[in-house]
Amino acid sequence: MPTVAVVKRKYRTGSLLGRYFRHIFEHKNLKRALAANFAVIAITGSLLPQSPAVLADTAENEPVIQTELTLKTEKSVQYPVETVRVTQRFGFFHPGIDLDGLTGDPVKSIKIGRVAGISYSKFAYGNSIVVDHGAGLTSLYAHLSKIEVEEGQNISMDTEIGEMGATGRAFGDHLHLEVYEKGKAINPLTILR
């Protein structure tokens, strides 16, 4: 056993009791003995066979569950129109993008969500839909010729929410798309690929 003087000299930091145990557990002979014992226990435990009664008991009592696993991959974001042709980009005075098309072209939501608002107007956005996607993300679809959803309706990415048009302040058939994150307009092309 080391003396207190030896422990104080060799280990200069920590409490006296902590220095004493550090001296004991850092001894190379103790490390070897602990490692050898651990190795023997690990090898012996893996080589010993289990009794047949234990194996049979676990096999009978385990429930067998058979299920058919069907994996379905879905897009998380999509363009709202089939043919993508951006005619006006996001800017300071234009908080969205314009997508070219013809009156009657189907318009879908960029993500799943719930219809938060519908507006019919002869000015500004014309006939428009606001979709709440959750987590502070909303999207606005403007200048629609026809609206095919109702306020409060849950929609998927396959739901046709309306048809492209030129209602409101529009110069030609197109879809005006705006995306808001926590109330702030962001460039839709940062979400759409």
Write out the two tokens for 157.
């990415």
Are residues 56 and 91 located together in one domain of the fold? no
Domain coverage including residue 100: 86-190
This prediction's pTM: 0.63
| Residue 30 φ/ψ, nearest 5 degrees | -70, -40
In whole angstroms, give the CA distance from residue 92 to residue 48: 75
Going from the C-alpha of 193 to that of each of 84, 188, 189, the distances in angstroms are: 11, 9, 7
Are residues 48 and 127 located together in one domain of the fold? no
81 part of a folded domain: no
- pLDDT for 83: 94
How far apart are the two ends of the chain, measured CA to CA in Å?
72
Are residues 40 and 104 located together in one domain of the fold? no
Are residues 51 and 128 located together in one domain of the fold? no
Are residues 101 and 183 located together in one domain of the fold? yes
- pLDDT for 152: 97
Are residues 44 and 139 located together in one domain of the fold? no
Residues 95 and 81: beta-carbon distance below 8 Å: no
CA 1 from centre of chain: 59
70 part of a folded domain: no
Are residues 50 and 135 located together in one domain of the fold? no
- pLDDT for 3: 60
Going from the C-alpha of 155 to that of each of 110, 133, 134, 151, the distances in angstroms are: 10, 10, 12, 11
Tens-binned pLDDT, residue by residue, of the chain (193 aa): 556 555 455 556 667 777 677 766 676 676 777 777 777 887 877 777 666 655 555 556 667 777 787 877 778 999 999 999 999 999 999 999 999 999 999 999 999 999 999 999 999 999 999 999 999 999 999 999 999 999 999 999 999 999 999 999 999 999 999 999 999 999 999 999 7
Are residues 21 and 54 located together in one domain of the fold? yes
- The CATH number assigned to the domain holding 133 equals 2.70.70.10
- pLDDT for 136: 95
Q: Tally the domains of the chain.
A: 2
Are residues 50 and 145 located together in one domain of the fold? no
Residues 6+ apart with CB under 8 A from 94: 88
Are residues 90 and 51 located together in one domain of the fold? no
